[in-house]
Structure 1
């Protein structure tokens, strides 16, 4: 037993050094850290109540746990609508979080639009203190900030994670440049994992009449139509128009949806007006498979083409000339 009352200041400093060395030797190790966060949870709770909000949170935790367990991941903690997880390696973590996002897409396919679950994810590789249960350290705080900076459905990572990945995984990453994170003095270089195959899940649309481009909102159902609002609520995510008022009126108020199904992007026609995919009419209520390069003809007024990564322009900004994107998130 140490008699602390008899220790000199020098003795205490030496003891602190010894304890710090022992703490580091026994409990410090590198881990892949992951934070997930539900997008739009606060307005969801306000609109649908605590019971529905808690059910959405539980779905998040249950699907996450099922997807990361096979790749040696574990949930360390849950707080509010977020989860903190760790993995032994970056490659295993990427496998787990991609499986999680894919499974969420399957879950959302069976849920009403307003009850769909979208999650942003942040990854960081760093040294932490852990006894096999608790995990702590500055790296944990940085990882949480990375997740909070993400877009819906996005998987963001630090360069420390990127450097731990294998070659094939690195090829799926896109640099975002320096990103300002809350509580961090300098911008942090981040990357986004392009976890969807953009040949089956294109993210960009081109209006061929004007060569204007649109980035699709990051959600599993995106609605297109002439109507902007209905009873004070947004009617469409993408509001379609035309400089000629007569041609604009040919577009239905709710014309079609693009849905991210597990196997790819699908168009569902909502209108009695003509909607064609690659020159083939799609009856109202029916679906058509969409791929990069596919052409959507809207009521004979607009021609929209889905762009793959090789054909889109360098500018990802939404067009404001003929349509505007109203991302519900």
Structure 2
């Protein structure tokens, strides 16, 4: 099983059977743990073999265990958050804010896709997005800020967005990304000023961008200061 496409084809019952047997349980032991009959376990196992395209118990165990083992890789991690939204709502009214908020979500999601970003979470006023390329993450952040400036010029108002980007090792799946680097990226976003993009040294080095204005930031919950710099997005040109 080379990726999780096959695992997504398994029903919840098939997945339970597969995981229990792959951990070393016999058919009877799996049946007892899952409150199934041995024949039902064997029935599900045949379907699992077909879906995983395996023929032997060794291939089956290797496929299931490799899929459940945490995979680690280096990613660029972006967090965004709105700043000053309360005062903007009071200024333009609830209806206008709902329209503006919907526009912003749609615009940002389109820019994530254009820059090869993958949305992991959208909680409250912010997004968590993962990029394979640090350069793509920076370019996406720059375009977001410029798009907001254009909206402000045309309509007289726009939300203020703070963006933090860090690069590092993470583990997990498409729907769940974990690791200390995730916390650093989130804290970096919280430390950013409105209308700014704050990126770590790791991001700039990975993107091969100059580290101008680098300094240490004391971030909540992180022992050592994290070196980061503010991206001059008004002068940055996408390459």
Aligned pairs for 1:1-329 (under 5 A) are 1=21, 2=25, 23-24=69-70, 27-45=71-89, 50-112=94-156, 115-166=157-208, 170-171=209-210, 173-197=211-235
Q: Structure 2: which 5+ runs fail to align?
A: 1-20, 31-64
Change in Cα spacing, 1:103 to 1:48, as seen in structure 2 (3 Å) is: closer
> If the length of structure 1 is used for normalisation, what is the TM-score?
0.48
Which sections of structure 1, spanning at least 5 residues, go unmatched? 5-18, 199-329
Report how many residues are paired. Answer: 177
The 2-side partners of 1:20 and 1:136 are apart by 18
Equivalent pair of 2:201/2:214 in contact (CA under 8 Å): no
| Equivalent residues of 1:29, 1:130 under 8 A apart | no
Deviation at 1:46, TM superposition (A): 5.4
Rate the CA distance shift 1:96–1:182 in 2: closer, same or farther, 3 A. same
Aligned-CA RMSD value: 2.7
The 3-state SS of whatever aligns with 2:233 is: coil
Q: CA deviation at 1:61?
A: 1.6
Q: In 1, distance between residues paired with 2:121 and 2:214?
A: 28
The Cα of 1:48 is off from its aligned counterpart by 5.2
Q: Is the 8 A contact 1:68 1:100 kept in 2?
A: no
Q: Give the Cα–Cα distance (whole angstroms) in 1 for the partners of residues 94 and 69 of structure 2.
A: 42
What is the TM-score of this pair, normalised by structure 2? 0.65
Q: In 2, Cα distance between the equivalents of 1:130 and 1:45?
A: 37
